[in-house]
């Protein structure tokens, strides 16, 4: 019972990471594809500003997923990390370069430095979700089972590859939808259209990939395929499809906050559909929730800790996102780090 609850919490945490982290990786994707220094200057400017206050928080979801895995379902953690070590190792290298690239790009002033860190950030934003998706694909296609030997090529199955691509497309979709909203918030109408077009394109690509995923899972991941086409799994698949249609409708109209909600709806429903399709397995056909569950006392405490944390953390997260959406969060400018009022010295500066 508690194990099921914790499994649901784990699935929700994965969903939260897919949405929050996905948005973040997506911003990196559009940074990568924004073109040369001059052409990509405005989109990159927006990406920098929009991401800055929240990216760390977005990525902390992942830590929480890992902790839930090893505390709640130690065998799951052990098995996944043994069997899928290569994609996960590559993903973590990507994460390091990405976080560092982003953090270091902001304070560096020289063009060469900004280019180097920016390129690191952008490429890593593409690579990391691909490998995380590939690891999930390995789980869905029943290739990861307790006792699976560490092998370097287990993740190169069709399901893994297509899941990796879906992950990248998802991040691109989320990123562009959120950036459309940010462009409106930062009063940049040209960027609204810029990212709106990209959101529609990436949603189209995502739809195509979803169909491909359907064919591939039919052959390669029969258990998940059955789950996705029956019962709750099917319900969430349909929900994701409906949310996608509403998102298209929203994107064609003047931008509003609701398109973010529906875009999140698409991704969240898809992730939950996958989780539902796997029931009652954590690793399809080899490890059930009940088999993988850690000690009952620990699970109870994990539930308590989660509950207390929700009470503590959620108001703070809500405050952060609220302040951010209201434009209350601004990074410090050089002027403010200078120690004088902005009127002394060189007069009203062009940048301000």
Q: Yes or no: say if 58 and 99 are a contact pair by the CB < 8 Å rule.
A: no
Phi/psi of residue 173, each to 5°?
-65, -55
Omega of the bond leading into 280 within 30 degrees of 0 (cis):
yes
C-beta of 222: minimal distance to other proteins in Å? 27
C-beta of 300: minimal distance to other proteins in Å? 8
- Stretch 171-190 residues interacting with other proteins (CB under 8 A): 186-188
Q: Does 290 bind other proteins (CB under 8 A)?
A: no
C-beta of 134: minimal distance to other proteins in Å? 15
**Using CB under 8 A, which of 7, 14, 19, 68 touches other proteins?**
68
**Using CB under 8 A, which of 19, 88, 192, 224 touches other proteins?**
88
- Per DSSP bridges, beta strands 281-283 and 287-288 are antiparallel
Report residue 205 as tokens: 């690509």
Write each residue from 93 to 132 as x if it is in contact with other proteins (CB under 8 A), else as -, in one continuous string: x-xxxxxx-xxx-xxxx-x--x--x---------------
Distance from C-alpha of 75 to C-alpha of 57, rounded to nearest angstrom: 28
Q: Does 205 bind other proteins (CB under 8 A)?
A: no
Q: Yes or no: say if 70 and 292 are a contact pair by the CB < 8 Å rule.
A: no
Per the document, the length of the chain is 352
- Stretch 239-268 residues interacting with other proteins (CB under 8 A): none
Judged by beta carbon, residue 154 or residue 273, the one nearer other proteins is 154
C-beta of 131: minimal distance to other proteins in Å? 12
- Stretch 313-342 residues interacting with other proteins (CB under 8 A): 313, 316-317, 319-320, 323-324, 327-342
C-beta of 87: minimal distance to other proteins in Å? 11
- Stretch 146-165 residues interacting with other proteins (CB under 8 A): 149-150, 152
C-beta of 309: minimal distance to other proteins in Å? 3
C-beta of 261: minimal distance to other proteins in Å? 21
**What sign does the dihedral 157-277-62-250 (CA atoms) show?**
positive
DSSP-derived secondary structure letter, 288:
E
Q: Does 79 bind other proteins (CB under 8 A)?
A: yes
Q: Does 200 bind other proteins (CB under 8 A)?
A: no
Distance from C-alpha of 47 to C-alpha of 246, rounded to nearest angstrom: 25
Judged by beta carbon, residue 211 or residue 297, the one nearer other proteins is 297
- Stretch 45-64 residues interacting with other proteins (CB under 8 A): 45-46, 48-49, 52-54, 56-57, 59-60, 62-64
Judged by beta carbon, residue 148 or residue 229, the one nearer other proteins is 148
Distance from C-alpha of 310 to C-alpha of 170, rounded to nearest angstrom: 27
C-beta of 215: minimal distance to other proteins in Å? 32
Judged by beta carbon, residue 106 or residue 230, the one nearer other proteins is 106
- Stretch 294-313 residues interacting with other proteins (CB under 8 A): 294-295, 297-299, 301-302, 305-306, 308-309, 312-313
Distance from C-alpha of 342 to C-alpha of 326, rounded to nearest angstrom: 24
C-beta of 53: minimal distance to other proteins in Å? 4
Burial class (CB in 10 A: 0-12, 13-18, 19+), 243: buried
Torsion of CA 219, 222, 225, 226, to 10 degrees: 140
**Using CB under 8 A, which of 5, 12, 67, 248 touches other proteins?**
67
| Three-class DSSP category at 349 | coil
Residues 6+ apart with CB under 8 A from 218: 225
- Secondary structure (DSSP) of 91-131: HHHHHHHHHHHHHHHTT--SHHHHHHHHHHHHHHHHHHHHH
């Amino acid at each position: 019972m508690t194990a099921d609850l914790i499994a649901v919490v784990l699935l929700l945490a994965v969903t939260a990471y897919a949405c929050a982290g996905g948005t973040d990786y997506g911003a990196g994707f559009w940074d990568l594809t924004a073109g040369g220094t001059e052409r990509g200057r405005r989109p990159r400017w927006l990406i920098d500003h929009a991401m800055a206050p929240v990216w760390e928080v977005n990525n902390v979801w992942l830590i929480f997923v890992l902790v839930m895995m090893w505390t709640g379902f130690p065998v799951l953690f052990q098995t996944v990390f043994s069997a899928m070590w290569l994609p996960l190792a590559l993903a973590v290298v990507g994460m390091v370069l990405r976080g560092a690239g982003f953090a270091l790009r902001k304070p560096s002033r020289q063009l060469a430095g900004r280019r180097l860190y920016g390129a690191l950030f952008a490429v890593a934003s593409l690579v990391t979700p691909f490998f995380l998706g590939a690891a999930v694909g390995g789980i869905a296609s029943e290739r990861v089972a307790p006792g699976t030997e560490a092998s370097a090529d287990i993740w190169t199955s069709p399901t893994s590859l297509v899941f990796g691509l879906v992950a990248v497309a998802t991040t691109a979709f989320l990123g562009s939808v959120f950036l459309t909203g940010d462009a409106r918030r930062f009063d940049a109408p040209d960027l609204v259209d810029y990212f709106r077009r990209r959101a529609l394109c990436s949603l189209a690509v995502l739809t195509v990939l979803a169909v491909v995923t359907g064919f591939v899972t039919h052959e390669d991941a029969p258990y998940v395929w059955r789950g996705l086409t029956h019962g709750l799994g099917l319900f969430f698949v349909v929900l994701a499809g409906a949310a996608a249609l509403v998102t298209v409708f929203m994107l064609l109209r003047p931008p509003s906050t609701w398109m973010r909600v529906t875009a999140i709806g698409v991704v969240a429903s898809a992730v939950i559909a996958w989780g539902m399709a796997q029931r009652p397995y954590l690793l399809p056909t080899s490890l059930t929730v009940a088999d993988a569950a850690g000690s009952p006392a620990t699970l109870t405490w994990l539930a308590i800790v989660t509950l207390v944390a929700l009470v503590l953390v959620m108001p703070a997260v809500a405050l952060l996102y609220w302040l951010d959406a209201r434009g209350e969060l601004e990074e410090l400018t050089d002027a403010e780090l200078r120690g004088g009022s902005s009127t002394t010295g060189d007069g009203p500066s062009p940048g301000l």
